[in-house]
Amino acid sequence: MQSTHLSDLRPATAQPTGAEAGRQRQGRLWSNLREVCDLLHIPTTNIPSSDELLFQHVQFKMGQRVHTIGQAFDTLFVVNSGFLKTVLIDEFGNEQVLSFPMKGDMMGVDGIHTRHYASEAVALSDCDLILLPFRKLAALGRAHTELENLLYGVMSRELVREQTMIGMLGALSAEARVARFLVSLADRFAAMGYSSKLFNLRMTRHEIGSYLGLTLETVSRTLSAFNEVGLISVDQRTIGIKDADALKNLRRLPPSRSRSRQRARAEATAAAASVGPAVQLATA
């Protein structure tokens, strides 16, 4: 696995992958405050689109690390394009996935407290990130109330997200967790302007399982089961959402016996009634 630290990276010089926002200057991509706020979905009542104050973009390739645990903190990141995961590494080297940041999400907030990042961020695809030097940002917040609200708001939003996650891990069945995970992905894709009905997973079953507190086999089986009952369609990493409402409210599926009994019954009806089993199995 390749790994790259900030200091190793030369900022993008060529065409960026996602060229929605930003401008070239000194052969690099930059965004102004207004664009950053828009990206974060923060109402920007009166932030001017001035180009006085610009924030630099940096590109990461799939598999590269944006920051690692314990690394000195000084900047926050906003995802402009691409997909990532953030993970905790436990005392035995096991990864615990904490989130799957994508366009409009902020990363690095967990570094503020101790001045060192508490988690690790890895690119799951090629990514374009905007760097927000924290000290500079906080200083700016003193002048612009909107920006100050942005910071507090984003941190609070992240906190609420994690609370919801805790509630989910503490109370829901495997099936309900996977269902809500799919719905939440669909919603986020919708918010980014993509289809919420058909999308590609950017993460492995193992990463999904880690995120949801399940094994990869359980994730796989659950997706298959959803597919079987027509809630979704699954083809490798391509997911089609068939019944979003049912997924949202799902507590658990009827037991698999009853599903297979239904199938068995359907098959059996053709082959008439009372034929004994061909082979008598040992039952003790």
CA angle 39, 196, 44 (to 5 degrees): 20
Q: Nearest to residue 42, comparing CAs of 193, 196, 152? A: 152
Q: Which does 167 bind (CB under 5 to 8 A by kind): DNA, a second copy, none?
A: a second copy
Task: Give least dist CB 51 to DNA, A.
Answer: 38
Q: In what order do the strands lie in the sheet with 28-32?
A: 23-25, 28-32, 54-60, 127-133, 75-81, 106-107
Q: Is 283 in the site for DNA (CB under 7 A)?
A: no
Binding test (CB under 7 A) with DNA, winner from 165, 168, 174, 244:
174
Instruction: List CB contacts of 185: < 8 A, sequence separation 6 or more.
Output: 199, 201, 239
Contacting a second copy within 139-168 (CB under 8 A): 141-142, 148, 151-160, 162-167
User: What's the distance, CA 28 to chain centroid?
Assistant: 27
Whether the CB-CB separation of 167 and 161 falls below 8 Å is answered with no
71-110 residues near a second copy, rule: CB under 8 A: 88, 90-92, 94, 96, 98, 109-110
| Shortest distance (Å) from residue 162 CB to a second copy | 4
On the CB side of 154, how many CA atoms lie within 13 Å of its CA? Answer: 23
Supply the DSSP string of 57-81, one letter for each residue: EEEE-TT-EEE-TTPBP-EEEEEEE
Site for a second copy in 224-263 (CB under 8 A): none
Judged by CB under 7 A, does residue 263 bind DNA? no
- Out of 45, 52, 170, 275, point to the residue binding a second copy (CB under 8 A): 170
Residues that bind a second copy (CB under 8 A): 88, 90-92, 94, 96, 98, 109-114, 118-119, 138, 141-142, 148, 151-160, 162-167, 169-171, 210-213, 282, 284
Residues that bind DNA (CB under 7 A): 173-175, 201, 204-206, 213-221, 223-224, 234, 236-237, 252, 255
